Each structure stands twice: as structure tokens, then as C-alpha cells.
Amino acid sequence: MFDSPDAFDGFVAEFAAGRLGKARWTHAAHLAVGLWYLERLGFAGALEAMRAAIRRHNEAVGTPNTDDGGYHETLTRLYLTAIAAQRRAHRAVPLPQALRQLLASPLADSRWPLTYYSRARLFSVDARHAWVAPDLRAL
């Protein structure tokens, strides 16, 4: 996904500053940025950074953060939790390889959360605004 560590860092900087174009904010980009933040900030710091940066990005590209669109707390926490677990399992792997592994994992399928959540629960207003535990199977 990135030719160099500098390209990875630059992508995250563009995103964090709200300068990343809407078309570049793909599912793979979400995963990459989550991995980058986890690597540098730990889970709590990554969660705070992702919350702020996703909201800022959405506003910058004209996507309102509302009850039915924009930032989604449960999805953000779910993916960060899964990315962190994968990183712990492969701690010795350099970050570029960890990103390749992540993008080749089941997490790269945007439907992955539906193995844990029913559509109704995952896409509820409550799940968008706060963490909601899975209703189909435990993490």
C-alpha cells in the first residue's frame, strides 16, 4: 500500500490534518491508519486519535457526523481491538510487513464485523455513538 515508511507517515499526516481526499479514505486506509496509530500511541491513544481524525476528515470532505452517517464508535473500537490483537500475535514483524498481513487478513473484508454483530445492532444509533458489545458471538 505504501512504497516507504515516509509514504506511510505522510499519508497518516494528510489524514490527521483533514487534507486526505474522500476517495483515498478507503477501508484499507482505515486499517492502515489504525495500525499506524496503535504502533505509536497504544490502544487508548490510538482510539482518541482515530476518533478525532475521522470526525475531522469527515467534516473536511463534507460527510456529516450524524445519527446515521460519519463517525462510528463501535466500528472504530472493534477494528482497533482486532488490529491490536493481530499485532500482538506478530510483534516481531516489521510494520510494513504487518500492514501487508493486515490487508490480507479477514479484517480487510468490510463485512467482517457482521460475523460478530447483527446488522440492526451494528448500524444502530447507539452503536454509532458508543461502544456496543457484539450480539452474535464474543470477540
Segments in 61-109 forming alpha helices (H): 73-89, 95-103
Crossing angle (nearest 10°) for helices 95-103 and 73-89: 120
Q: Is the pLDDT of residue 1 over 90?
A: no
Alpha-carbon distance of 123 to 115, in angstroms, equals: 14
Domain ranges of the chain: 5-109
pLDDT of residue 114: 98
Contact (CB, 8 A) for 80 and 50: yes
pLDDT of residue 89: 94
Is the full-model pTM beyond 0.75? yes
Smallest CA-to-CA distance from 112 within 6, 48, 30 is with 30
Contact (CB, 8 A) for 37 and 83: no
* Total length of the chain: 139
Q: Facing residues of 69 across strands?
A: 66
